[in-house]
Amino acid sequence: MKPEIKDAAPIRNLRAGTPFLWCNPKVKKAEKVLPGLPLHIDDLRDAQARQYRFAPLMAELFPELGVAGGLIESELLPAGKLKKALHYPGNFLLKADNDLPVAGSIKARGGIYEVLHFAEKRAVDAGLLKYSDNYVKLLDPAVRKLFRKYTVSVGSTGNLGFSIGMISAALGFGCRIHMSSDAKAWKKERLRKRGVTVIEHDSDYTSAVAEARKAAAADDSVYFVDDENSVNLFLGYATAAFRLKAQLESQNIGIDRKHPLFVYLPCGVGGAPGGITFGLKILFGNAVRCFIAEPVESPCMTLGLVTGRHSEISVYDIGLTNATEADGLAVSRSSGFVGKFIENLLSGAFTLEDDVLYKYLWLLNRHESVKVEPSAAAGIAGPEFLLRSEEGAGYLEKARISPENITHVAWLTGGRFVPETEMKKFIRKGASVMTAASLPVRNIKRNRKDTEKS
Ligand SMILES: Cc1ncc(COP(=O)(O)O)c(C=O)c1O
């Protein structure tokens, strides 16, 4: 039986597939929310310390990480030409996770961290590693022999599976990836070439995860990475906040209440954007405002937050299809763990049509020579919604924020390993939907009063 849903304005927009900005009425001051959460700055520091312990090994396993000292990190890029083309006031920057080494997407942050955490625990428990050791020791035959006994398993729309497959294969674990029907063929192919077992499902992401969870429960040697509930994944994403802070400082960009940071994060099940929101709130408090971006047919996190039902409701329940070209965001049911975690931290959400994602994909390539997959372009719409919709203008006015004082960061979340032929197709599609007269975001709903009622 489908749950009954109160038909408030945001629900009407979600149900109708109308792109819109939703400002979260439950967001509270950081100092009120953070102390009551189950994770704190020490957990973030602990995760970062683990990443540093593994850095020498990572540089050994993936020579491309050598320049970054073995850390998986992306650049914070100025985007002056795109800013000019889109007429965005203030600072406008791109966090280039589309170019993240090793796995080429934001999912590498959580996925790789979680497998490293598992590897450390196994090796320490077996007496083969001390925290003070150089972790290159994990390449010793005795450790490899231990790791061969385990299989890491995960359900994925593609990019998480790709990240987990890369690191598991490099460390010597077995690896089994359950891919949803949205996963692109080239991602599966590349993993198979690395010796990873790829199990293809005809169903969506939520079902692929359920299948993976069930299969893992029946086998003690399988370690299941739970994209819907994992604290370690969440912390792996959250450590990005330390790096972003350092990058802003090195570019002399000051952030405070009057000069806030607005961050726009494409959202699937919620782990990556949720973890990063948490990390940023810890480091910047009320000076940062995070918004998630979702496709109009797959707005699972927005739906979960708006209704307060989190993972108890799916986009199918309101008649949506979950069909989108943004494969990484094609998720019908959000993570309940993440939804509840961020419900008082997240400033809002906006939804986008696929054509608009392609327009931004094209604009990024045209003006900044940056190549991304469709999911990854969603954040570019953030300033458009904040500055040009009635809802956004009202939000800024209420918060007394001058548009020229904002530093906007659009988080680009994937693209590095998209094959050239696929990328050309994406860009051609972008060009075909990009007409000189049309605005990058169409149909922004003028719905401020409606949303306030909700
Ligand atoms: C390119 C890309 N962007 C964003 C996301 C969203 O991450 P999450 O599912 O953790 O919300 C994904 C997820 O796979 C992705 O592949």
Domain shared by 314 and 442, yes or no: yes
Using the mean position of ligand 1's atoms as its centre, give its distance from the Cα of residue 119 in Å: 24
Q: Which amino acid is it at 410?
A: A
Number of domains present in the structure of the chain: 2
> What pTM does this model have?
0.94
Q: Which atom of ligand 1 is nearest to the CA of 272?
A: 10
For residues 154 and 44, membership in a common domain is answered with no
End-to-end CA distance of the chain: 24
- Picking from 175, 199, 230, the residue at the C-terminal end of a domain is 230
Cβ neighbours of residue 12 closer than 8 Å, sequence gap 6 or more: 18, 450
Q: Can you give the CATH number for the domain in which 66 is found?
A: 3.40.50.1100
Whether residues 313 and 268 share a domain: the answer is yes
Q: Are residues 150 and 238 in the same domain?
A: no
Q: Whose CA is nearest to atom 9 of ligand 1?
A: 268
- Per-10-residue mean pLDDT for the chain, 454 residues long? 67 96 97 98 98 98 92 97 96 98 96 98 98 98 98 93 94 94 87 90 90 90 94 98 98 97 98 98 98 98 97 98 96 97 98 96 97 98 96 97 98 96 96 67 47 35
Going by the DSSP 8-state scheme, the letter that residue 25 receives in this structure is T
376 within ligand 1 shell (Cβ under 6 A):
yes
What per-residue confidence (pLDDT) applies to 419?
A: 94
Place of tokens 């009425």: 25
Select from 263, 267, 294, 352 the residue to mutate for testing ligand 1; criterion: most ligand atoms less than 8 Å from CB: 267
- Who's near 263: CB < 8 A, 6+ residues apart? 276, 277, 280, 288, 289, 290, 291, 408, 409, 411
Q: What is the largest CA-CA distance in the chain?
A: 66
Residues 70 and 163 in one domain: no
Asked whether residue 185 falls in the same domain as residue 265, the answer is no
Let me know whether 263 and 363 are in one domain.
yes
- Look at residue 186 and tell me if it is in a domain: yes
CB atoms within 10 A of CB 366: 16
Q: Whose CA is nearest to atom 1 of ligand 1?
A: 414
Amino acid 446: pLDDT: 46
Give the range of the structural domain holding residue 397, as residue numbers without chain letter. 9-104+233-453
Contact predicate 375/357, CB 8 Å: yes
Q: In the listed set 172, 198, 230, which residue is the last one of a domain according to the structure?
A: 230
Please give the distance, rounded to the nearest whole angstrom, from the Cα atom of residue 305 to the centre of ligand 1: 18
Same-domain pairing of 261 and 205: no
Q: Which of 211, 230, 249 is the last residue of a domain?
A: 230
Residue 199 has a pLDDT of 93
How many CB atoms neighbour CB 310 within 10 A?
22
Using a 6 Å cutoff on CB, does residue 414 contact ligand 1? yes
pLDDT the model gives residue 67: 85
